[in-house]
Structure 1
């Protein structure tokens, strides 16, 4: 009784190998893709955004206010790296750069304890400005 299932298994395996099919090699890539190198553009760097902490520095400069921007850095738990004020400022600059601003007037930067979803959170708020050269 034990021999019957083994014989059936052997017959099914050998039966599939008796089918005649022509062999056709598979090429992984089309020939045109192999001869032409692919060129990718590097990601565009955001324009540099200058930080102003004192509004008196902007008195003699013509500028246009583009809106409010903020940046934050979250420390999820007490074991994570601490919330960093420099990271919050950098994220604020990146958001201002996305608005085509070239300067940010910083209103305030602070570290908040027990913020929603964070153990500690560094937050910076400011105004995105387009400063013209005099």
Structure 2
């Protein structure tokens, strides 16, 4: 019975020695020439689009409706994380920022639905992209 723990100890020690570096391998020099990092192109980000939840904020301001925009958050299966409305709102904002001259979104509705194609549950936000002119 004493032979079993001694064999296991010998096996463990020999297994750990296989993980160490062989002394025959040449050591890599850390004084290599510095690598030139590739130049990343400058990405121009669109101006932030604010979300307007109350249409009375637009009273007296000149604005132009640029069309409907949507954002969605999908839960593909029952085991996935549930869809959330803040993600759908953010995606709606991003969709509006891709429209030319949009600087605001008038939020019409956000809702969570079930049974959509490809989604177990889905959060959808719908709004209108707006170009609000400064007076």
Same fold (TM over 0.5): yes
Report the Cα distance in structure 2 between the residues aligned to 1:39 and 1:78, rounded to whole angstroms: 43
User: Structure 1's 114 and 41: CA in aligned 2 closer, same or farther, altered over 3 A?
Assistant: same
Equivalence for 1:40: 40
Equivalence for 2:125: 124
Give unpaired runs (5+ residues) of structure 2.
Answer: 1-33
Larger Rg, first or second structure (1 or 2): 1
Report the Cα distance in structure 2 between the residues aligned to 1:97 and 1:38, rounded to whole angstroms: 29
SS at match of 1:90: helix
Q: How does 1:92-107 map to 2 (within 5 A)?
A: 92-100=92-100, 101-107=102-108
Give unpaired runs (5+ residues) of structure 1.
Answer: 1-33
Aligned-residue RMSD, C-alpha: 1.7
Alpha-carbon deviations, 1:64-114, whole Å to 9, x = none? Answer: 110010000100011101101011111111111000210000111000012
Report the Cα distance in structure 2 between the residues aligned to 1:91 and 1:118, rounded to whole angstroms: 17
Equivalence for 1:53: 53
Q: Which has the higher helix share?
A: 1
User: Structure 1's 83 and 35: CA in aligned 2 closer, same or farther, altered over 3 A?
Assistant: closer
Alpha-carbon deviations, 1:13-66, whole Å to 9, x = none? Answer: xxxxxxxxxxxxxxxxxxxxx997642224322320010111111012111110
User: Structure 1's 38 and 77: CA in aligned 2 closer, same or farther, altered over 3 A?
Assistant: closer
Report the Cα distance in structure 2 between the residues aligned to 1:97 and 1:123, rounded to whole angstroms: 17
TM-score normalised over the length of structure 1: 0.70
TM-score normalised over the length of structure 2: 0.69
Runs of 4+ in 1 over 4 A off after TM superposition: 34-37
Q: Across the two proteins, how many residue pairs are aligned to each other?
A: 101
